Structure 1
Amino acid sequence: MNLLITGGLGYIGAHLAVELLKSNANVFILDDLSNSKIQKKKNIEKLSKKKIKFIKNDLSNYKILSKILKKNKIHTVFHLAGSKAVNESFFKPYKYYLNNSFKTMQLLRAMHESDVNNIIFSSSATVYGVKNKNGIKEDGYLEPINPYGTSKLISEKLIIDQSKIKKKFNYIILRYFNPIGYHPSGLLSDDKSNDNLVPNLINKLRLKKPFLIYGRDYDTKDGTAIRDYIHINDLISAHVSSLKYLYKNKNEIFNVGTGKGYSVLEILKTFDKVLNRKITKKFVKRRKGDPAIIYCSNLRIKKKLNWRPMHNLKDMCKYALNKIY
């Protein structure tokens, strides 16, 4: 079976590729290297002891994409490519509508042209906004409060519409909460996004600078924002389970999180324990578009995929630091 991962040299894509290569599947990666490096391909192959076919390209031209899909006889697309920084999306909204929404449309058009009918899409908890009661269910209010979330929601709607136009088209949409941690080797750990807690923390530790906490006046138990964090291995296992479910011709949307909320200070205290020292921190003003509390209900994915998160918060923090710091 031939599987294509768009954005496959990114943080999640690289971890997914290593896991998929454990099976008999042929893994193809399409990436424009705008947020990654070709070294990641070598690292994936080193860890898996298998070869992958790498295609340097973006998703802007559906005709080129269609040729790629046909030539390589792709059966299923894992669509992970896109821009992902919430804060940046306020300053560069059109970048997000282009990279996330428009390019998803181009990919879907290419899939339609080349008769590729299976997609697993990397969506986000940001599609929910702030009006839902925690833990948020998949049928909650969809009112994003930032352009990033809007771009992801548009992509979801495009995918769902394609399934209505083409009856044999199948999809699974995975709404990620906050993945953290890395492969134990440290070879897949070069996520430099300053919009994400763990890469930001690691960079500050390396530079011996204080970690910035955005806001200390939220209506939470310790004044800092609460999020649902999930270990990268658990997130990847959800993709693998989704692939099996998809082949039963099922269309579904799943939250992927632990169903528990942890504050920023709780995360830092856990890192303190792992490091056996206190992390230097500094409080700064809130970032625009950051809700106070957001965590999911994961009952649907547990029931339908028999999936369970296997790692606790301490595991997540250990994996984040292993062979990195």
Structure 2
Amino acid sequence: MMKVLLTGGAGYIGSHVAVSLAAAGHDIVCFDNLSNSRAAVIEHVEAITGQPVPLVVGDIRDRDAVRGAITDHGANAVIHFAGLKAVGESVADPMKYYDNNVRGTLSLIEAMVDCDVRTLVFSSSATVYGEPQYLPLDEAHPTAVTNPYGRTKLMIEEMLSDIAAADPAWRIAVLRYFNPVGAHDSGLIGEDPNGVPNNLMPFISRVAAGRLPELAVFGDDYATPDGTGVRDYIHVDDLAEGHVAALDRIRAQDDALSVWNLGTGQGYSVLDMISAFERINNVRVPHRVGPRRPGDVASCYASPDRARDELGWEAKRDLDAMCASTWRFERTAAMRNA
């Protein structure tokens, strides 16, 4: 059993990983500045897990606050989610992304060193692969980012690689996510961003619920079967279980740093996702096609073979489960907020 500090633990992915860690017998403490999350999420995590989940409200750029959270709660591992992640916003305001993502991660690492904690799982992104040279994308694919958000993730990966090379006591897992969607089966936690969503699935669900008038599809002239972007959508609970598997693996291995894709290996287009959501949930999702979004690529989907072979992990939940759980969370949230 480990005591794991989750930075960004009140967020979408962090909250689901908290549930999976608890199910695996680990203790958890969440650290979050609540800039794009809500403290009430922790109450829902507690309801699902049946155990108290401490929440420390703080910013990863505040080294003293991170150090205090680690020491006060006896954490001996960190899973790092805290970061800004909207591609379009990163293009418009890159300084904000370098400050929060890169400077924030360095501050976190410094605090961990201060506390003699050197076990880290880092939330990276398939964005680091840039424009695919081949598909599916495996971990050996060259990195070449196309937007500032992706560049911050790649810079952090390179920083962690250098740190691990300089100090082999580190045990670091870099997890390159593809596109997490869906929600916990309870309907208590899911993707619920502040303001207008930047990701596809919460936008679809809010349009279906009438909270937003229509979905903007960013481009229909890509070199894909229907012209819209193709992505590898993975259920967030599968992704969460991948974190538990990665944490268990790095604790037992000699390598200071390892990289794994977390994806399904299956690509779906934007129009595929809209059609599936409408079919599975018997709803309508009005949408219109607009111009391409800066920094996007046509197709991006994973080769998950290394994670399967080395972590003993693979995605189990299908597209129907992704769409159904998203809609369940949307309706449950609406009832709670009524």
Per the normalisation by structure 1, the TM-score is 0.96
1:214 correspondence with 2:218: yes
2:72 matches 1:71: yes
More displaced 10-residue stretch of structure 1: 223-232 or 186-195: 186-195
Cα distance between partner residues in 2 of 1:223 and 1:136: 20
What is the distance in 1 between the residues matched to 2:8 and 2:62? 16
Report the equivalent of 1:46: 47
Q: Following TM superposition, by how much is the alpha carbon of 1:25 offset from its aligned partner in structure 2, in angstroms? A: 2.2
Aligned match of 1:204: 207
Range 143-152 or range 244-253, more displaced:
244-253
Residue 24 of structure 1 and its aligned partner are, at CA, apart by: 3.3
What per-residue deviation string (whole Å, max 9, x for no partner) do you get for residues 274-320 of structure 1? 12244221111110111011111111111101111101111211111
Please list the CA deviations of residues 116-162 of structure 1 after superposition, one character each: whole Å capped at 9, or x if unmatched: 01000000011110042111111211111000000011111111111
> Which residue type is aligned with residue 229 of structure 1?
Y
- Cα displacement (A) at 1:190: 4.8
| Alpha carbons 2:207, 2:286 under 8 Å: kept | no
Give 2:336's aligned residue: none
SS in 2 for 1:107: helix
- Partner Cα separation in structure 2 for residue 161 and residue 208 of structure 1: 45
Structure 1 position 92, deviation (Å): 1.1
**For residues 235 and 145 of structure 1, what CA distance do their matches in structure 2 show?**
24
Question: Is residue 324 of structure 2 the alignment partner of residue 318 of structure 1?
Answer: yes
How many equivalent pairs are there? Answer: 325
SS of 1:5's partner is strand
Once the two structures are superposed, the pairs formed by residues 171-210 of structure 1 within 5 Å of their partners are 171-192=172-193, 194-205=197-208, 206-207=210-211, 209-210=213-214
1:257 counterpart = 2:260: no
- Among 285, 292, 300, which residue is 1:294 paired with? 300
Residue of 285, 288, 293 corresponding to 1:279: 285
Deviation above 6 Å: which 4+ runs of structure 1? none
Alignment of 1:122-271 (within 5 A): 122-192=123-193, 194-205=197-208, 206-207=210-211, 209-249=213-253, 250=255, 251-271=257-277
**2-side partners of 1:149 and 1:252: how far apart?**
19
Counterpart of 1:9? 10
Task: Report the Cα distance in structure 2 between the residues aligned to 1:128 and 1:323, rounded to whole angstroms.
Answer: 31
2:91 aligned residue: 90
Q: In 2, are the aligned partners of 1:108 and 1:162 still within 8 Å (CA)?
A: no
Larger CA deviation: 181-190 vs 25-34 = 181-190
Summarize the Cα distance change of 1:295–1:168 in structure 2 as closer, same or farther, 3 Å threshold: same
Residue in 2 aligned with 1:56?
A: 57
Deviation sequence 1:53-84 (CA, Å, 0-9, x none): 11111111323322332332211100000101
Q: Aligned equivalents of 1:132 and 1:245: distance in 2?
A: 30
SS at 1:21's partner residue? Answer: helix
TM-score (norm 2): 0.93
Partners of 1:316 and 1:25 in 2: CA distance: 26
| Residues 201 and 165 of structure 1: CA distance in aligned 2, closer, same or farther (over 3 Å) | same
State the distance in 1 between where 2:29 and 2:248 align.
Answer: 18
Please report how far the alpha carbon of residue 47 of structure 1 lies from its aligned counterpart in structure 2 after TM superposition: 1.2
**C-alpha contact (below 8 Å) 1:59/1:104 kept by paired residues:** yes
- Asked if the contact 2:206/2:330 (under 8 Å) is kept, the reply is no
Report the counterpart of residue 305 of structure 1 in structure 2.
311
**Structure 1: runs of 5 or more not aligned:** none
Write the distance in 2 (CA, Å) between the matches of 1:179 and 1:59.
23
Q: Percent identity?
A: 35
The alpha-carbon deviation at position 208 of structure 1 amounts to 5.6
Structure 2 residues not aligned, in runs of 5+: 332-338
Change (3 A) 1:267 1:128: same
Distance in 2 between residues matched to 1:203 and 1:323, nearest whole Å: 11
Instruction: Give the aligned residue type for 1:324.
Output: E
The CA RMSD over aligned residues, in Å, is 1.4
Aligned-partner Cα distance in 1 for 2:222–2:24: 45
Does structure 1 conserve the Cα–Cα contact (< 8 Å) formed by 2:90 and 2:149? yes
Alpha carbons 2:281, 2:323 under 8 Å: kept: no
Alpha-carbon distance in 1 for matches of 2:132, 2:328? 37
Cα offsets for 1:74-128 (capped at 9, x unmatched) = 1110000010111110111111111111110111111112110100000001111
